[in-house]
Amino acid sequence: MTTFDVGWTTCATSPQCAGSAWRPYGRCLAHLDEAELDEVAGGLSPGSAVDLRGTVVGEHLLERILAATHRRLGRARFDRAVFPGEVRFGGVVFDGDVSFDRARFHRLASFLDARFAGNVSFREVRFSRELSLHGVSVAGHAAFDRVCAGRDALFGSARFERTASFENAEFQGFATFDGTLFSGDATFRGCRFGRASSFRRAEFDGLAGFEAARFWAGCSMAPARVGRRLGLAGAWAGNGFDVTARGCAVDLRRLTVIGPLAVRLDGADADLEGATLRGSATVDGRGSARVTSLRGVDSEALTLSRVDLSTCGFTGVLHPERLRLAGCTFATTPRGVRFELRWPPLRWWTPRRTLADEHAWRGWSGPEIDPPTAHRLAVLYSRLGTGVDDRTTAADFAFGAMEMRRLTSRTAGRWLLSLSWILCGYGLRMGRALGWSVLAAAVMAATLLMSSTSHAARRPAVSPEPPPPVHLSHH
């Protein structure tokens, strides 16, 4: 028997065989004769541990093992095993931990409705053909890191009771996780999906992480329930993307989508900072849905509907005029009177809708690492106003643009804008102009009244003429 660097005692039949040697034969199960294999099978019972590491597991050998254990295995080791034929673990119960690390499946690999009572590991496994884990149940941790599926991979209706990791996995065919339940955190960081992938009706009780994933043929996550956070930061989708999230944080920072993007938020928060959208994109909200950042977004046509933008930063968005804002909620100016240590010391603002960026610039909100300048705010207000469906909001944005220009203007220009601001609110506050008109009319009327009264007081007094005498005649 020869010990290789694989970590176990290998088969003595050939130096090229890395199969785990069974005592007392000193050879792997693939190199036992029928009599010896019968002895091994006779010593197995339901729940027995099996060691097939590095072994070439043919269909006949696998059926002998499963039949001897009544399709119920204990601790099972298949690391570096090679399966040249079809593999069917359908309905098999694994009572202990199972490992298939770096195994090779040359044909179909089916684990339909299998049950894993412990942990299971498929790290760096290569599936040349179809892979099916439809309906499997894993009570422990599941690891599929760097797995490669050459054709379709089916995980529909599977149940993962604890963490499930698919980091840097590659699915060259269709991949479906429809109806899959992830009770713990699920990570798909760096995954590559060569064809369409689907997570419809999938449930993530914890974290769902798809950071830096690549979806070459589009992906659907509508609807999917996520407990804590849906992470798609740095992900890339080559043929559109469709996602629905409920009651969680959605991280879409640096997301790149070639094709249509549809994001539906049901009481969820989304961050699109730095996203690149090369197609029509929509973000539709329900309930308390919010978008927290659009900084640095590069989009061809992005529509946001019924979302809360009161804390959303717009600074750095590349094409503000391409945004369409329908039924959205914005921040507002502070209420009441404020005292500040500059002139004028008392300040108050008329109610209007504002951007969170202006709040950061004025210091009304929390500290900003890189607050925008007033000039950038003026440009942002002007270009965003063209895509607002509400006239009142559009007028408030135009007012905000003029306000920023007034505060950045020099000398004469600032005086003219200040005069326009005081008299008529840049032509956008007609009530202010009407108030000045009423005040001017009142002052004029009072002036005329006082003038006429003083003129009457200065006129000289005129004595009344005596009445003509009355002559009485005597008869």
How do beta strands 2-3 and 9-10 pair? Answer: antiparallel
* Total-model pTM: 0.82
Q: Is 309 helix (H, G, I), strand (E, B) or coil?
A: coil
Mean pLDDT score of the chain: 86
Q: Could you tell me how many residues make up the chain?
A: 475
Residues pairing with 331 in the sheet: 354
pLDDT score, position 3:
45
Amino acid letter, 219: C
Q: What is the pLDDT of residue 416?
A: 58
For 97, 277, 386, 388, the CA distances from 381, given in Å and listed in that order, are: 60, 22, 9, 11
Q: How far apart are CA 241 and CA 256, in angstroms?
A: 10
* DSSP code for 42: H
Within 8 A by CB and 6+ apart from 274, the residues are 253, 254, 295, 296, 297
Of 148, 156, 65, 72, the residue nearest 112 (C-alpha): 156
In three-state form (DSSP H/G/I as H, E/B as E, the rest C), the secondary structure along 93-107 is: EECCCEECCCCEECC
Q: Which of 195, 231, 241 is nearest to 211 (CA)?
A: 231
pLDDT at 413: 54
Residue 213's CB: how many other CB atoms inside 10 A?
25
Extended strands (E) in 146-200: 148-149, 153-154, 159-160, 164-165, 170-171, 175-176, 181-182, 186-187, 192-193, 197-198
| DSSP collapsed to 3 states, 379-400 | HHHHHHHCCECCHHHHHHHHHH
Does residue 466 have a cis bond before it (omega within 30 degrees)?
A: no
131's tokens: 């892979």
> What integer pLDDT is reported at residue 2 of this predicted model?
43
Question: Quick one: residue 350, left, alpha or beta (phi over 0 = left, psi -120 to 50 = alpha)?
Answer: beta
| Residues in the chain where the model's pLDDT stays below 70 | 1-5, 336-349, 366-370, 407-440, 452-475
193 in Cβ contact with 172 (< 8 Å): no
Query: Is residue 455 classed as helix, strand or coil in its secondary structure?
Result: helix
Torsion of CA 39, 41, 47, 50, to 10 degrees: 90
pLDDT at 444: 78
Sequence-distant (6+) residues with CB within 8 A of 332 are 310, 351, 352, 353, 354
By CB atoms closer than 10 A (0-12, 13-18, 19+), residue 449 is exposed
Instruction: Using alpha carbons, select from 315, 314, 270 the residue that is nearest to residue 290.
Output: 270
Rounded to the nearest 10 degrees, the angle between the axes of helix 430-458 and helix 411-424 is 80
User: What whole-number distance in Å separates Cα of residue 192 and Cα of residue 194?
Assistant: 6
Domain ranges of the chain: 338-424
What does the block give as tokens for 164? 């499930």
Q: Give the pLDDT score at 467.
A: 62
Among 25, 34, 27, which residue's Cα sits nearest to residue 12?
27
Tell me how far CA of residue 52 lies from CA of 24, 92, 100, 203, 279, in angstroms. 15, 16, 10, 35, 51
Partner residues linked to 131 by β-bridges: 109, 153
Classified as helix, coil or strand, 141 is coil
Give the pLDDT score at 359: 87
In angstroms, rounded to a whole number, what is the distance separating the alpha carbons of residues 132 and 85?
A: 15
Residue 21 corresponds to which tokens in the numbers above? 């040697």
Check residue 472 and give its pLDDT. 52
Q: What is the pLDDT of residue 475?
A: 46
The closest of 399, 444, 393, 401 to 424, measured between CA atoms, is 399
Nearest to 208 by CA among 228, 224, 230: 230
Q: Which candidate, 261, 329, 327, 328, places its Cα nearest to that of 299?
A: 261
